[in-house]
Amino acid sequence: MSDHAAAFSLSSDAESTTPEREALLEAGRLSSLGELVRGFAHEINNPLFGMLGLVELLLSEIDAGTKSHDRLLLVQQSGLEIKRITRTLLAYARAEPDLMEAVSLENVARETVELVQCTSAGKSVEIREHYREEPLTVFGSRARLGQVFLSLLVNAQQALPAGGVVTIRLERDGDWAVTSVTDSGEGVDPGARPHMFQPFSTTKRGGTGLGLAVGLEIARAHGGDLIALSSVAGGASFVLRLPIDEASP
């Protein structure tokens, strides 16, 4: 087993910390959720393909510019949007949580942003993406790193109930890949800062308080870290640092 893989292994003995146990439970929940997502996506796709095929046939039989043609175009656009959403969910669900490999952080970021933008809450928030021209590659689990990115984006989105801007930025700092997710919200309450990475600690309605705790454990299992900073703009900023995989081409 490589040093990277060994570092990623989570202890299951009686002395395991609470975040480690929560990470294992969360991984199990994600695996089950992935199976459900794949099943639902395939069930949706079968009738969807039939519907889109029928709409395409009807569009060819109706004169362009008529009300009927325009309405069918709206139906087609809605069907294609559903197809895009299911494709995004399938891509996310296919990742194997324990598969250790060279992972492009930019690809993980783009896929996660697309997934968040599929949600109704995500549509009220503007997500600005800033990536390097050269790829940033780390060694680890694409599924679990995606879990961290998703947690940070959802956390930022929840900080903006009335809408706002979330900025995700990928940079290189020496031998480290640095990902920052910053929101334009009110920032983190100083009283909550010492506890924000503890399991079940949350100030958000409907939140479980597990996202940041599990994200920190995953980051550390990859040889990195996850920290919270005060944003210059006044919002909250979370920074994920991971060692770059220099062996990747």
Average pLDDT value for residue range 15-21: 53
Between CA 207 and CA 60 the distance in angstroms is 48
pLDDT in tens, 23-33: 556 555 655 55
Q: What is the pTM of this model?
A: 0.64
Between CA 138 and CA 243 the distance in angstroms is 6
Helix, coil or strand: residue 242: strand
Q: Answer whether residue 119 shows pLDDT above 50.
A: yes
| Neighbour-count burial of 226, counting CB atoms closer than 10 A to its CB (0-12 exposed, 13-18 middle, 19+ buried) | buried
Q: Answer whether residue 3 shows pLDDT above 60.
A: no
Mean pLDDT (the chain, rounded): 77
DSSP state of 195: G
pLDDT in tens, 156-206: 888 888 889 999 999 999 999 999 999 988 766 555 554 565 554 454 544
Q: What is the pLDDT of residue 128?
A: 95
Q: Which residues pair with 168 in a beta bridge?
A: 129, 181
More confident residue, 214 or 187: 214
Query: Which CATH code is given to the segment(s) 100-243?
Result: 3.30.565.10
Cβ-based neighbour number of residue 68 at 10 Å: 12
Q: What is the pLDDT of residue 82?
A: 82
